[in-house]
Amino acid sequence: MWFEHIVFWVLSVVAIAGALGVVLVRDLFRGALLLATAFVAVGGLFVMMNAEFLAVVQILIYVGAIAVLFIFAVMLTRDVQQGNAPNRLQIPAAVISALLLAAMIATAVSTDWTTLSGAGLEAKAQLAQTQAVGIPNASDLTSAGLTPAEVESVSSGGLADLLIGNFVLPFEAVSLLLLGAAIGGLALARGRGR
């Protein structure tokens, strides 16, 4: 389906160009805007993978909150006009990000994706015969022969079950982390001696 291919390539190029721009552009403010652009493009990629919930949350949190906080930080930074000054940590930063990239690629390659995408691919192939364009929704998936449990596993309900079931420990750990961050931010904002 070349229509989907076009959308995929546009989104991918925008995401990668935006991410590159964040690192390469001197103007901190434009960097933050490019970051938001990259976030939106990644959200679009999530939509293409039928993960609407993830896509919407991506926009809500990363564009609506995190990018705005970055811009806030840029605004409160002194001497922004000088731009992104080069510093001495370039080589360690390059090494660390290369390691991170390697780790991510290794994880992506070694993960067993077949459980979900096998059924999904089958359903998509069947959909391609009955319906030439578009993104399948829950009723399409059901009519394409997926069991209700499999349909549920790609919806927000399934995600919620996983979060409060199998992954409850990391979930709670993250909320503790956020609480710590909030208290830390408050402590910083109040300043010393008060």
Partner 1 sequence: MRCVTNADGMLSADGVLGGNPLFYFIYNAVGHVAPCWLSYLIAGLVIMLILINAVLLGAAIVSWGERRLLGRFQNRVGPNRWGPFGAFQPIADLAKLITKEDIIPYGADRLAFTAVPVIMVAAVLLGTAVLPFAKDVALVDLNVGVLFVLAVSSLTSIAIFTAGWASNNRYALFGAGRAVAVLLSYEVPVVLSLLGVVLVAGSMSLGDIVAAQAVPFFLVQPLAFFVFIAGMSAELNRTPFDVAEAESEIIAGYHTEYSGIKFALIQAAEFGGVLVVSGLIATLFLAGWAGPLADWLGWLWFLIKTFIGIFLFVWIRSTYPRLRLDQIMAVCWKFLMPLSIINLAAVVLEVFFLRDANGSLSTADLWIMAAINIALAGGSILFFGRFIREKVRTDAHTAIATNPVARGASTIGMG
List residues near partner 1 by CB under 8 A. Answer: 3, 27, 29-30, 33, 36, 52-53, 56-57, 59-60, 63-65, 67-68, 71-72, 75-76, 129-140, 155-156, 186, 189-190
Give Cβ neighbours of residue 126 (< 8 Å, ≥ 6 apart).
144, 145
Query: Closer CB to partner 1, residue 108 or residue 132?
Result: 132
Closest approach of partner 1 to the CB of residue 104, in Å: 25
Query: Closer CB to partner 1, residue 140 or residue 153?
Result: 140
Closest approach of partner 1 to the CB of residue 139, in Å: 6
Query: Closer CB to partner 1, residue 33 or residue 146?
Result: 33
Query: Closer CB to partner 1, residue 11 or residue 36?
Result: 36
Closest approach of partner 1 to the CB of residue 179, in Å: 15
Cβ-count burial 22-60 (b if 16+ within 10 Å, e if not): beebeebeebbbbbbbbbbbbbbbbbeebbbbbbebbbe
Closest approach of partner 1 to the CB of residue 188, in Å: 9
Structure tokens at 84: 């992104």
Q: For residues 3 and 7, what is the distance between their CA atoms, to the nearest angstrom?
A: 6
Q: For residues 25 and 67, what is the distance between their CA atoms, to the nearest angstrom?
A: 16
